Structure 1
């Protein structure tokens, strides 16, 4: 079945009195609710990249130069807390590294405080574990600083990075200390004997 009616000519089906008006450019300061019909925006020279933080607003055009004011500012509170946590982590890491580099003396002091009458003899293992532990703690702190700065530059929350790295450093320090304690068989026997007495 074919349509035998004549095809309408341009403008024949428009309502009486209707006049076509060309689209106007959108004014950035104008209130959108004041206009009865949404304004159409003329086509740009390049593809428009939308900003995920502001739906509907163009972030930049790849064809033109980027607007430096489009990126969200760094959260001041997050930057302050992250910097404070990194400063605390720095002093804690330096103190822990100093203790690890003299691990035999630290373990002997712990034994004297606990009144366990034994001399720590695994000095070679303590020196090696102290060096390995110091390198691991330094690498964890360096990773915390690098990841925190990277997150702050990307305008993401960063305060949890030093916290997570602090927990990781504590676990690594505890593991190194346990290995150093268990490296001396005489010390383990003395601790077992003191617990049984």
Structure 2
């Protein structure tokens, strides 16, 4: 009989003895060399593999523009909240100003009875801005792209508070009909 092994020649050390495995483990792996930027041939000739370079602060993006845009949007939102919230509380005056701007000859039947809607609208603006600022701050601290957070927060809060301001006008049938007549024709 011949001494020929019928098994195929191992490619990855499947048939290595424990001594051969220990010897191979003691050498640096070719993948470590590739990650460090050294050719596998250098590892085969037992050259030392340099350590992988440490990440420097210059390698990380600073996102300066993102921070500036985020702060500007938050500042604009704060200014909007500070100006709009007190005006929203008085829905009667808000509705009268809206009617005058649109050229509608109408007014709310009970301007004081709809004050709760204005308080709700102003609260949405204030709480929405605080929540948006908190989420933006957390995102900035984590180093993530943040400019979109105050933009989306502002759009959502203004839409919701605007809807809360229109509901009392829609519920007042005389004012709503006058508004519809003016807008439609």
TM-score by length of 2: 0.67
Q: In the alignment, is the contact (CA less than 8 A) between 2:121 and 2:162 conserved in 1? A: no
Taking the TM superposition and a 5 Å limit, the aligned residue runs for 1:119-138 are: 119-138=107-126
Q: CA RMSD in A?
A: 3.9
Structure 2 gap segments, 5+ residues each:
4-16, 21-25, 29-35
Greater Cα shift, 159-168 or 185-194: 185-194
Cα offset for 1:158? 0.6
Distance change in 2, residues 1:75/1:194 (3 Å): closer
Instruction: Output the CA distance in 1 between the equivalents of 2:133 and 2:174.
Output: 41
Cα offset for 1:187? 0.8
* Number of residue-to-residue matches in the alignment: 158
Aligned to 2:33: none
Distance change in 2, residues 1:182/1:86 (3 Å): same
The alignment status of 1:151 with 2:139, answered yes or no, reads yes
Cα offset for 1:79? 0.8
Q: In the alignment, is the contact (CA less than 8 A) between 1:99 and 1:106 conserved in 2? A: yes
Q: In the alignment, is the contact (CA less than 8 A) between 2:121 and 2:160 conserved in 1? A: yes
Name the SS for the 1:36 alignment partner. helix
Distance change in 2, residues 1:31/1:105 (3 Å): same
Greater helix fraction, Structure 1 or Structure 2: 2
Structure 1 gap segments, 5+ residues each:
12-21, 25-29, 43-55, 60-67
The alignment status of 1:96 with 2:102, answered yes or no, reads no
Distance change in 2, residues 1:150/1:119 (3 Å): same
Distance change in 2, residues 1:181/1:152 (3 Å): same
Aligned to 2:128: 140
